[in-house]
Amino acid sequence: MNRTLVEKARCLLNEAHLKKDFWAEAVSTAAYLVNRSPTRSIGGKTPEEMWTGRKPNLKHLRIFGSNVMVHVPKVKRRKFDSKAVKGIFVGYCEDTKGYRVYDLDRKCFLISRDVIVINEGVDDSTAACVQETAEVEFMELFTEEIVMPRDQARDCPDEIVTNSDDEEEARNNTLETSSDDFEDACSDALPPQLRRPVEVSQQGLRRSGRERTCPGKYSDYISYGSFSGDVLSSQQSLPSIVGGAMEDNPQTYDEVMRRPDRDLWIQAMKEEIASLGKNRTWTLTDLPEGRKAIRNKWVFTIKRGSDGSIQRYKARLVVKGCSQKPGVDYEEVYSPVVRYATIRYLMALAVKFDLDVDQMDVVTAFLQSELGDEELYMVQPEGFDQVNGKVCRLRRALYGLKQSSRVWNEKLDAVLRGFGLQRSLVDTCLYWIIDGDKILFVTIYVDDLLIFTNNRALKMKLKQYLMEKFDMKDLGEATHCLGIRIARDRTEGRLSLDQEAYIEKVIQRFGMTDARPVATPADSSIKLEKSMAPKTAEEAMEMRKVPFKEAVGCLSFVAQTTRPDIAYAVNAVSQFSANPGRQHWDAVKRIIRYVKGTSKKKLVYTKDENGGLQGYSDADWGGDPDDRRSTSGYLFTMQGAAISWSVKKQPTVALSSCEAEYMSLSRAIQEAMWWRNLRSEFTEVEAMPIYCDNQSAISIARNGSYNPRTKHVSIRYHFVHECLEENNVKLEYIPTTDQAADGFTKAMTIQRQAKLRQFVGITD
């Protein structure tokens, strides 16, 4: 079979006038065609027919090496960008619907169903544009026998199903590929028990109505990308398609080998292998009988400076942990990370007590933690096969293993405790020492450490201790952490957090660079409803091309970290992620327009003797037009800015505004008790003030007596009264005009949105 594939691949390359650099694509195409060609050894049937029990559909086949144009969807291009890119057809995708196309301009591979063939075969001028790739010394061709299972064979007619239109299409110079071709072909490729009816649009250049799901056996090989678009490279996001291949991160080892900057990537891979060898991450051995070696992949990243210039090429070897078997390859996998709220609280504390805020980073953290008793075997890295027939017996945790984070966290925990730090029982990624007037806090987020202290000698002692235990980088005063920029003016007693760089990337990613900014993230005159969902198949098909979930996910990250002023708007649009309509998408774009106009604003903590921790609770009664449920919102501030906030729709319908406010108080006081428990570990705490603007809810919470209006309220909400009785919190009335949590329950007008920013501490 190896000889058959190689000969067919050679013919494909010669006929298409392509260089041998495309051998992998040619071999893959040859195998694809062999599986759909009749064979005498199985009675004139095709291997695919023997596997699935159905004859293959050949409507979608095209001539290898043809010149094609790939459509670029409107959502992924600007006004004057080209609507299509020119490329060469180089094969088919087995695991997703689409043709593989080599982009002549960007020298990268794309996957798309919307392809127009403009010339059958590659002419000499096109072939000359394909640059030849140099041989790589450690690159080898792996050959395997293709074995087709026969136990699913069925009696079928001998002829192959085709279409009378195929011959006519083959005679045309200009062909348009319909997504129907792929629907038929993919349906034929599935065993009967896995097939399901599919509703397919008859329009060209549109996606299938079927939701794309990953077959289990290929789950560790496939990434469907973050955009629901048509011009997508496997495992690539929009910038990888539009921005120019040489400026983006390659996705596979094969792609690296075809790039002009491959030598830099090869050097990066060699450095990674050297680092793994230095840490004795594995030993080569024979694979025990009955065991399966886990596969791995290379992850390539271009590290850039603040000005966008390339600093270094980084290659990391990761394990495909999704192929691990529970009980065999791993047991426990959970590993905690510090809460963002805890980090913000410590930032406010740093302002109040003028603490140093330093940062340390562990180099290849997972490689510095040993695996336990598990016997884990991994195939040798692609391009670095040292000994044929051997596998890697893992001795240390490797990125991608399901248990790597847990193993690393356990080791780091032991080291920090060894220094004398106490671990918080409330946030297990917070460590502290309070010794007289000495204050030291340490937070961990996987391999990123933040150190807060007022004693520099103690800080230096801790750093030296950690650098003796691990290979670490002392980054000095913290300026960037977890995607957040930290700016400090100690003379003014001011510390700010912002995500301006990330917001700019979001704006570019979703094509909103030229959008006009707005003053509010949500239109206060519009209530989003389920009735705004697509009403026709055409509308639904159009909305599938919109990256709704991706945009909401990006905005959610911003809303949860440094921009509480968009929390309500993001929560509102996220409720329609399952079936968004055009108005829902417009609402998402409005949020992006708002953060575009306020991208330079920061969450600012300022030194204030009266800036203690306090909370606000509010509710919007019956605000959801679909189910008439209310929205709860709370906000906790310290040193003039927000440290914790939440927006959530209530799980039941409230019968009055008093009841809605009372239910919201329950959630706010749960958060207040979390803060009380955390702070009581290292300091004396007093009853925390919680402000509410509903007198009836306050009365019920304080008195706790039987009331016919609230007798149906769940017992869990009466937790409020208990906390007040024990003096854990104190409830205070505040006028609605001064209610800081009001902006977490409803859309604001321009004036009230500006006041909300003032309440939460967002300023220039």
391-394 sheet: strands from edge to edge: 282-285, 391-394, 377-378
- Length of the chain measured in residues: 764
10-residue stretch averages of pLDDT, the chain, 764 residues long: 84 86 89 87 83 82 90 78 88 82 84 81 52 34 31 37 38 41 43 37 40 41 33 32 50 87 91 87 90 91 74 89 81 90 97 96 88 86 83 90 91 96 96 93 95 96 95 93 93 95 94 94 93 92 92 96 97 95 96 96 93 94 91 96 96 89 92 96 93 91 69 73 91 94 95 96 94
Amino acid found at 78: R
- Contact between 246 and 107 under an 8 Å Cβ cutoff? The reply is yes
Location of structure tokens 């993230």: 521
Alpha-carbon span 451 to 663, nearest angstrom? 38
Supply the pTM of this predicted model.
0.67
**Which structure tokens are listed for 151?**
């136990």
Alpha carbon 304 to chain centroid distance? 20
CA torsion angle for 236, 237, 243, 248 (degrees, to 10)?
-50
Q: Cβ of 703: how many Cβ atoms within 10 Å?
A: 11
Exposed/middle/buried for 603, CB within 10 Å: 0-12, 13-18, 19+? Answer: buried
Alpha-carbon span 64 to 31, nearest angstrom? 13
Location of structure tokens 């063939």: 117
Location of structure tokens 């847990």: 406
Show Cβ contacts of residue 246 under 8 Å, excluding neighbours closer than 6 positions: 106, 107, 259, 260, 261
**Which structure tokens are listed for 210?**
């079927």
- The sign of the torsion formed by the CA atoms of 94, 95, 98, 104 equals negative
Give me the pLDDT at residue 225, please: 33
Distances (CA, A) of 479 to 22, 278, 303, 463, 490: 45, 31, 17, 18, 14
- Contact between 358 and 459 under an 8 Å Cβ cutoff? The reply is yes
**Which structure tokens are listed for 44?**
């004139």
Give me the pLDDT at residue 215, please: 44
- For each of the domains in the chain, give its residue range(s) and CATH number, in order of start: 2-236 (no CATH), 340-371+396-473 (3.30.310), 498-597 (no CATH), 610-763 (3.30.420.10)
Give me the pLDDT at residue 705, please: 57
Give alpha helix (H) positions in 366-487.
Answer: 404-418, 456-469
Give alpha helix (H) positions in 562-626.
Answer: 567-574, 582-597
Segment (H or E) for 729: strand 729-733
